Structure 1
């Protein structure tokens, strides 16, 4: 007689707290040991614009929002671990008391002029781009650091530490330790990508001391125990291990199982990107797309980021005076007979596949019959075109794209992306917290947990990290991912010609918009 082993049910006492410090809000989520979301809460954050083109947030507001979001979870059983994710490429200055000495400069801050950027480039080593594995594009943190050294020298003399990830500011508050994961460190322009450490030659060229930079640790490394004072504020017990976690680009790759080399993901939050994981030797950086160190292991994530995703639909909702959810529904109704209007989503310039802070968005092909519903559809289609434009910059042609982020909640977007790229699009059931789930997946093997439907993917990640059996393990992970709780959207054959024609028009319109940027600049 066969003896059936008892199946151990997930224990409610083995939970993990994930904190996602995003641009528009801080999200807190409590996961059980299988990766199922038990509870989640979020608290909004406000971005200050002291001058046109500037973008700042107060790190103290990040902490307050974190406290509010975690307290809203009403945690009654203490989690066995805490890890974080969040926005990258910020400049956060901490004084000797550990508090921020000024508001953080966000990744979208464009205060540094072209002339100032050119002056910094002239000081950098000739092989600068090879060292960092990326182009010397304006959003690199080092340009804003140099601006601060030139414009706020009194502030900089009071700086004890510089941080670059929003979640790292929260980790510092929790543990007292200054850390950064490899993915976020890549966005600074100070990391030697091939060797994965701060580059002393680059630091010397701009007069920045290595002493003030955070420790670079893999995303599954322990930052430290939760200290008593922050524990009390969060309503948790001191001593819970806090892990480094990953910047949102790295965490989202793991949350969509796109650490696999043939499964890129597209993220549509306030901003957006499309990204694929691959060996450094395949990526061959620097390239026009951005290349990030993977949060663990030796792979890189080639990522093509664009500046307006959810921002574009939020903007149009404000202009139209309609709720975003209502516009999604209206756009879905338009899909049976798509309108002719075409939208360029360059509302605050563009970052990839071309870097142009001056270009601005536009509607083309408008006529008097176009109601807000038709324009809402055009905005969503514009985001699909932006994804295809950025996908073409990657050295892959995928059969499947995983879609994540708040805008992924609209299946109209998924259909439009499938049509214009010719790839299947998968949408996770919990697309809004897929970044948090990725942070969970990264540390799960370290703390002895196995996410449901993700164990094979975790094995693939481990194999890739070890450098053995990666191809075989990745195949198992793909099978596991295919069986997970997600919606699969296929390209519509009857829309292929329309999609190709309109994408060609999108690219031509983008070229015209860039040529007209100077003539349309209200400051000139």
Structure 2
């Protein structure tokens, strides 16, 4: 007999989390199992989908579930390229959203074949992380592998759903990140597919996050320690699930997420967002709104990096930063450890500490790293068409109230921190399916409110201005260190080279037949 619980599986970049909620959305148990990121060449980022499934098995079994849940739903990282063969096995490691193998010349060359209104159709700028460009790279560099593709998937959680149910699906939020979906229509765009030479038969079905995929199949159920037949729901990519987990589907309540990477996002009607814009515009996981999201590459990654350099646990550095917050150091940190994605795209820029003094120790530098993340939040907030009075904060780094105070100071908004900020993405997946399961939620329980400090307003404004000025200098310096002429910030750059058109083979570059229904 089914219990009053819902199992959520969160297939993240660093680990797979399994979270069990009761019927009211309260946490019962949680566990996680790490996953490995591969970098076979500089700038590449890949993961083995078999590792996602094995980590899912380990995480779910660690919950020791006895009363079977009402349903299973999922969330996880988006903008991945996952190629499956006719048996549902992965043909190669998945290319992740953080992969940097595609350069500007390759993007410009492919764009000559795309519809002239390509960016309006997809609702976003032509930036390298779109799955479209990774697919083009695979078609040119691994044509033999691509000829064997029976299914393409784009979300890590969708690879797990495929193992659990045999169906190929994707939610609208994740589908937006591919560069293949018409945002207004919420369907695959036939002209874009034709320009790339992809058959629609290899693409997954786009279903709302609260749609039923099918029953949990016997083999996967046995591997997970669950009963077969439990209904599995589509769920949402992490951007959409986190919006619902912070209750920021409300139009006046954006959320900031600080995990390994970070973003700030706000939900609004499509006609308010007016894409394309410099920030991402994603279809909301249900209904017709969009989520405007401005993502940056180094959040928890930055504090983890510094903890490794300092030889100190992250929790200890959080505590030290809390202690010195009364008299904050003047050292400034730029968090561009692996380049940047938004509010500007620059994979060459690198991070730095500025204003160092010999009296600065690990505590001061850790504080500067956290302040740098607050500056990144403000910088990306300015790219959104909203000026909020409240920002919901989520993700692992949200466990440090120093971060919340610094974000409140630099943005001037009150920051709300959910009590379960580390599992807020999983909670969002729960909230998305709760209505169709007839369940209610307990939103707003035990939130911590952090107001901006008026006495810090002048300092915060001065420091943020220095952050932006230093960023401009760092971007110019990066090109100079790479052997290019130094360009003073604000001065015009040399005109970019326009790549010549490439010849492209005619006809479909993938098999037209659909994979057999294994549901």
Contact 2:2 2:68 survives alignment (8 Å): no
Q: Any idea what the Cα deviations from partners look like across 1:203-251, whole Å, max 9, x if unmatched?
A: 1111111110000000000011000000000000100000000000000
Q: What SS class does the counterpart of residue 28 from structure 2 fall into?
A: strand
Q: What SS class does the counterpart of residue 319 from structure 1 fall into?
A: helix
Alpha-carbon distance in structure 2 between the residues aligned to 1:304 and 1:74: 38
Alpha-carbon distance in structure 2 between the residues aligned to 1:520 and 1:244: 46
- What RMSD in Å do the two structures reach over aligned CA positions? 1.3
Write the mapping of 1:445-484 to structure 2, written as runs, cut at 5 A.
445-453=435-443, 481=444, 484=445
Q: In the alignment, is residue 516 of structure 1 matched against residue 448 of structure 2?
A: no
2:465 aligns with one of 504, 513, 516: 504
Q: Any idea what the Cα deviations from partners look like across 1:436-495, whole Å, max 9, x if unmatched?
A: 000000000001111123xxxxxxxxxxxxxxxxxxxxxxxxxxx3xx211000000000
Alpha-carbon distance in structure 2 between the residues aligned to 1:231 and 1:12: 15
Residue equivalent to 2:279: 289
Alpha-carbon distance in structure 1 between the residues aligned to 2:36 and 2:305: 16
Q: Any idea what the Cα deviations from partners look like across 1:133-169, whole Å, max 9, x if unmatched?
A: 1101111000000000000011101110000000000
| Of 355-364 and 417-426, the range deviating more from structure 2 | 355-364
Residue equivalent to 1:400: 390
Write the mapping of 1:108-127 to structure 2, written as runs, cut at 5 A.
108-127=98-117
Contact 1:348 1:360 survives alignment (8 Å): yes
Contact 1:292 1:302 survives alignment (8 Å): yes
Q: Any idea what the Cα deviations from partners look like across 1:268-305, whole Å, max 9, x if unmatched?
A: 00000000000001000111111000000000000000
| TM superposition shift of 1:114 | 2.1
1:26 aligns with one of 16, 21, 40: 16
* Structure 1 residue ranges (4+ consecutive) displaced by more than 2 angstroms after TM superposition: 519-524
| TM superposition shift of 1:521 | 3.6
Q: Any idea what the Cα deviations from partners look like across 1:8-43, whole Å, max 9, x if unmatched?
A: xxx992100000000000000110000001000000
1:58 aligns with one of 48, 51, 57: 48
Alpha-carbon distance in structure 1 between the residues aligned to 2:126 and 2:105: 14
2:66 aligns with one of 68, 76, 96: 76
Q: In the alignment, is residue 223 of structure 1 matched against residue 184 of structure 2?
A: no
Contact 2:43 2:100 survives alignment (8 Å): yes
Taking structure 1 as the reference length, the TM-score comes to: 0.91
| TM superposition shift of 1:112 | 1.2
Alpha-carbon distance in structure 1 between the residues aligned to 2:307 and 2:83: 35
2:136 aligns with one of 137, 143, 146: 146
Q: Give unpaired runs (5+ residues) of structure 2.
A: 486-519
Contact 1:149 1:156 survives alignment (8 Å): yes
Alpha-carbon distance in structure 2 between the residues aligned to 1:139 and 1:78: 39
Contact 2:2 2:69 survives alignment (8 Å): no
Q: What SS class does the counterpart of residue 273 from structure 1 fall into?
A: strand
Alpha-carbon distance in structure 2 between the residues aligned to 1:350 and 1:255: 26
Q: Any idea what the Cα deviations from partners look like across 1:283-341, whole Å, max 9, x if unmatched?
A: 00111111000000000000000000000001111111111111111111120100011
| TM superposition shift of 1:522 | 9.0
Alpha-carbon distance in structure 2 between the residues aligned to 1:249 and 1:71: 26
Alpha-carbon distance in structure 2 between the residues aligned to 1:130 and 1:33: 41
Q: Give unpaired runs (5+ residues) of structure 1.
A: 1-10, 454-480
Taking structure 2 as the reference length, the TM-score comes to: 0.92
Q: Matched residue pairs, number?
A: 485
Contact 2:61 2:225 survives alignment (8 Å): yes
| TM superposition shift of 1:70 | 0.2
Which has a greater percent of helix? 1
Residue equivalent to 1:48: 38
Write the mapping of 1:247-266 to structure 2, written as runs, cut at 5 A.
247-266=237-256
Alpha-carbon distance in structure 2 between the residues aligned to 1:396 and 1:116: 34
1:35 aligns with one of 25, 35, 38: 25
Contact 2:107 2:126 survives alignment (8 Å): no
| Of 21-30 and 356-365, the range deviating more from structure 2 | 356-365
Alpha-carbon distance in structure 1 between the residues aligned to 2:45 and 2:442: 39
Residue equivalent to 2:450: 489
Higher RCO (CA 8 Å, separation ≥ 6 residues): 2
Alpha-carbon distance in structure 1 between the residues aligned to 2:80 and 2:482: 27
